[in-house]
Amino acid sequence: MSDTSRRSLLALAAAAAPALAVAGAATAQTAAGGGVHAQLGAGRAAIVTGSSRGIGAATAKRLARDGFAVTVNYLTNRDLAAQVVRDIEAGGGRAIFRQADVADPDAVRALFDANQEAFGGVDVVVSNAAIMNTAPFAQFEDAAFDRMIATNIKGSFNVLREAARRTRDGGRIVALASTSIKAKRATHGGYAATKAAQEIFAGVLSKELAGRRISVNALAPGPTNTSLLDVPPPLRAQAAQMTPYGRIGEPEDVANAIAALCAADGEWINGQVVFANGGFL
């Protein structure tokens, strides 16, 4: 081999070494459970409403694993919210929990204030808090309907309004809809209507935030193993058979879909309804 060739090979090897080191570090981080999402979330903060249990809790924990500092919100389940924070902290993340009824705009503002004080701002807002009351139209009671409207529509509006004011440029906003908006099941008229509102909210808000690189979407889970799925075992089994996977969803399945929308690669998904239901419909 000539001296010129030898010098060329040595130069190539020297140039490749730093790149290999970076690649090796990234591989090691991924193997350790961090990966790309953790890098994206580093130094950023998220608010997840209704996150003391179910999909909200799973989402808070997933975003924390991705590197976000998380504000966990609850209405009545203080102990459960505190446990979510302990779980996040045990995994090396940062989190606080705050009580707020999303139907109260002052409480929502205070929730965002608490996040601001703790973490300096917000980059991801997940409007998840909701209640499900179901009954045939002829039997639906006013109080049950009014409370659902107050939480699911007015409450989500309060959260999204504050998110529009405070989410930092390049952030993400996700409103939880439901596959019920497509299924149109008997007894789900009121609930499905409140979830259809999330599609309108997301589509309109995505346009209002034009120029700020904030993606806004509605995510619609299917039947999921949470306390909201209060149905007899035979109906659960029937729902499971309606997906190609032969099972109903777990909160973590939905949380993973939300995390994908909140990642850098999810930016181009904007103003959409994303159905995360395992092929249920």
Contact 88, 51 (CB under 8 A): no
- CA 281 to CA 179: how far, in whole Å? 8
Contact 132, 191 (CB under 8 A): yes
Neighbours of 205 (CB within 10 A): 20
- CA 175 to CA 55: how far, in whole Å? 12
Looking up tokens 């419909």 gives 281
List the catalytic residue out of 74, 112, 191, 280: 191
Contact 239, 280 (CB under 8 A): yes
Tokens of 25: 């570090």
The DSSP call for residue 220 is: E
Active site residue 74: no
- CA 155 to CA 152: how far, in whole Å? 6
CA 93 to chain centre: 17
Q: Among candidates 15, 13, 38, 12, which has minimal Cα distance to 25?
A: 38
Taking each helix axis as running N to C, give the angle between helix 78-90 and helix 54-65, from 0 to 180 degrees, rounded to the nearest 10. Answer: 20
Q: Is residue 274 within a helix (H) or strand (E), and if so which, with residue range?
A: strand 273-276
- CA 281 to CA 279: how far, in whole Å? 5
Catalytic residues: 191
